[in-house]
Structure 1
Amino acid sequence: MKNYCVDANIFITAWYINYPINIFPSLWEKIANKKDEIILIKPIFDEIEPISSSDHKLEIAEKRTKYPIRMWLIENGFTETSIDDDINKTSLELEKAYEINDISKGADNKDILLISYAKEKNKTVVTLEGNQPQKPKEKYNYKIPLICQEQKVKCIDFVQMIGGLGIRI
């Protein structure tokens, strides 16, 4: 059962900085084996190394070099989850409540959609964004964990998700 709504930074930062696949291949293999518990909503999936239209004709090996995370997701059967009208409605309400705009230093529209999906479906948000011990003066500077806290949506980090998935390396 899918439980974890994953932010794009989970894959991008973990892959390139914290847990590179060339050093932690077994971790990524185990994550792939748990794909049925991981939700990538369409806007988040689209954010992770989208393959440009001019590169669709590249050979698979070239795509793996140029778009390693995207190709790993595809080759391991990760799929995008669509957003329905109820989630869009919740998202619009949260965007208004948290004053989301182009100058926001906190959550953006995709983050709000992620939170909305988790809220509507009673799932857990997974992000690498840090907690904000003090609320910013402006709501448009709230990050994912603070919005989740206010909306009573469970929010965890990558390592907590790995533990929740029962992955041991």
Structure 2
Amino acid sequence: MPKIPKYCIDTSSYITAWCHHYSPAIFESLWKKVGEALNQGIIISPREVLDELERGSDELLKWAKLHKAAFIELEEKPQKILSEIMKSHPKIIDLSIPEIQADPYVIALAKHTDTIIVTEEKSAVDSKKKLKIPDVAKNYKVNCVPFSKLIEMEGWKF
């Protein structure tokens, strides 16, 4: 039986962890644990995160597709939260980018499921261009942590 989700992971954390900090060639056991957590429903992400990963078309995408069930479509209630986010924080997306951007979906899903957002984005309150996940999530009382903190919070040892 799946557990209640605890974390909602943003695209930035998957990419940064996989490509820059925790290469699966070296940290194979870490990615096995992340995969297990995805399969158990402890870690979730909105479908739009998988869409963003598809733009890379690499080994990370192949791995993510093995856990496709953890990338979920937003239902009615989180869709309402998403609409509210877009209305009150339109700078959460960069209008110069034509593709769907996952950030508001991550926040909406995390708020709806009462989970912690895992993101590598840092606060940029004064940004003229685009708001960052931590800045908007704060307004919805959703906590954000980096991927390394997820490992620590789960007590994973290697």
- Fold conserved between structures, TM > 0.5: yes
Deviation above 6 Å: which 4+ runs of structure 1? none
Structure 1 SS opposite 2:102: helix
Determine the C-alpha separation between the residues in 2 that align with 1:119 and 1:159.
21
Structure 2 SS opposite 1:48: helix
1:44 maps to a residue whose letter is V
Partner of 1:14: 17
**Alignment gaps of 5+ in structure 1:** 52-65
CA contact (8 A) 1:41 1:114 kept: yes
The TM-score, its normalising length taken from structure 2, stands at 0.82
CA contact (8 A) 2:107 2:117 kept: yes
CA contact (8 A) 1:148 1:155 kept: yes
CA contact (8 A) 1:4 1:126 kept: yes
Residue number among 39, 63, 68 corresponding to 2:44 in the alignment: 39
Partner of 2:73: 82
Offset from partner CA, 1:12-41 (integer Å, 9 cap, x none): 121111111112112112222222211021
Q: Does 1:159 align with 2:148?
A: yes
Determine the C-alpha separation between the residues in 1 that align with 2:17 and 2:11.
10
1:20-169 matches, within 5 Å, as 20-35=23-38, 36=40, 37-49=42-54, 67-75=58-66, 77-79=67-69, 80-100=71-91, 102-103=94-95, 109-132=101-124, 135-136=125-126, 138=128, 141-169=130-158
Determine the C-alpha separation between the residues in 1 that align with 2:19 and 2:101.
24
| Residue 166 of structure 1: how far off its partner (Å) | 2.3
1:40 maps to a residue whose letter is S
Partner of 1:60: none
For the aligned residue pairs, the C-alpha RMSD in angstroms reads: 2.4
The TM-score, its normalising length taken from structure 1, stands at 0.77
CA contact (8 A) 2:103 2:133 kept: yes
**Alignment gaps of 5+ in structure 2:** none
Q: How many residues align?
A: 149
Determine the C-alpha separation between the residues in 1 that align with 2:127 and 2:21.
31
